[in-house]
Amino acid sequence: MAGVSGCMKYSMFIFNFFFWVCGSVILGVSVWIRVSKNAQQELEIDNSLFAGVDLLIAVGSIIMVLGFLGCCGAIKESRCMLLLFFIGLLLILILQITGGILGAVYRSQIETSLNKTLQASVNSLQSSTEESKAFQEKFQKFERMNECCGLLNGPADWGKNFNSGTGSNKICQCQLEDLSPNRCFMFQGRYVYKEPCGNVIADYLKDHLLIIMGIAFGLAIIEILGMGFSMSLYCQIQKK
């Protein structure tokens, strides 16, 4: 009867050990961010970003469990653990493919949803409530950092609040070194940045979407290889 390939067995163990370590790091860092007030202040994380941190906690936990199943299944030659590892990777792969298909099919709806979100933010720029003022202060920092103004229609998005800034913190005001027809134009008596921040946000999302797609494609290859190794090892153990 054929034996189990030692090379495949220990290669799978080492691979899944690093897989488990990565999951542990992701889980540990995300839990630390979730519970530490100092970490949240340093990283400027507010309640709106907690959903992303919670997602990282879930991802780290899943990676840890799969890494554990892969390690123990390989070293102990456990068909049950290897089968669970295979099923886990298969479910993740199916979710990735489903997410990619839904993203492609509903791309126009996603763009429409983004425009609605930006329009709601425009209303916040023109509002005078305390909650809106907090958003406006954060958004002004975003404008200065990215050299943009407003969201959809430039400085007009600020409405009556456009002249609320004072001194060096005047809303959308171009710095002296940035004055050029391509980047700034005159609006209500002063030079302001020409490009709407909505364009900056859209470009940022498009650039990072390509990165996410690349990562997802790389993970899919790793998952397929992991499934192949686990099933091959499973078959070898069964024939042993």
3-state secondary structure 63-116: HHHHHHHHHHHHHCCCHHHHHHHHHHHHHHHHHHHHHHHHHHHCHHHHHHHHHH
Give yes or no for residue 224 having a pLDDT over 80: yes
Give yes or no for residue 153 having a pLDDT over 70: yes
Of residues 31, 88, 92, 99, the one with CA closest to residue 60 = 31
Give yes or no for residue 176 having a pLDDT over 80: no
User: Is the dihedral angle over the CA atoms 17, 23, 24, 29 positive or is it negative?
Assistant: positive
pLDDT in tens, 16-74: 888 888 888 888 888 887 787 776 666 555 555 666 777 788 888 888 898 898 888 88
Distances, alpha carbon 160 to alpha carbons 90, 123, 144, 171, 216, in Å: 55, 12, 20, 12, 45
Terminal CA-CA length for the chain? 6
pLDDT grade for 235, boundaries at 50, 70 and 90: confident
Q: CA-to-CA distance for 29 and 25, rounded, in angstroms?
A: 6
The answer to whether 9 and 234 are in contact (CB under 8 A) is: no
| CA Rg value for the chain | 25
Give yes or no for residue 142 having a pLDDT over 60: yes
Window from 46-55, 79-88, 179-188 with minimum mean pLDDT = 46-55
Q: Quick one: pLDDT at residue 168?
A: 54
Give yes or no for residue 1 having a pLDDT over 50: no
The residue among 240 and 144 whose pLDDT is bigger is: 144
Type of residue numbered 32: W
Of residues 97, 93, 116, the one with CA closest to residue 105 = 97
Interval 205-213 mean pLDDT: 77
The residue among 68 and 213 whose pLDDT is bigger is: 68
Q: What percent of the chain has pLDDT over 90?
A: 1
Q: Quick one: pLDDT at residue 50?
A: 67
Q: Quick one: pLDDT at residue 49?
A: 61
Q: What percent of the chain has pLDDT over 70?
A: 87
The answer to whether 227 and 89 are in contact (CB under 8 A) is: yes
Q: CA-to-CA distance for 66 and 112, rounded, in angstroms?
A: 37
Q: Hey, which of 1-15, 18-32, 179-193 has the most confident mean pLDDT?
A: 18-32
Q: Quick one: pLDDT at residue 54?
A: 79
Q: Quick one: pLDDT at residue 169?
A: 65
Q: Quick one: pLDDT at residue 240?
A: 64
Alpha-helix runs per DSSP H in the chain: 6-35, 37-42, 50-75, 79-105, 107-126, 130-146, 197-239
Q: Kindly report the average pLDDT of the chain as a whole number.
A: 81
Q: Quick one: pLDDT at residue 183?
A: 82
Residue 22, Cα to own-chain centre: how many angstroms? 17
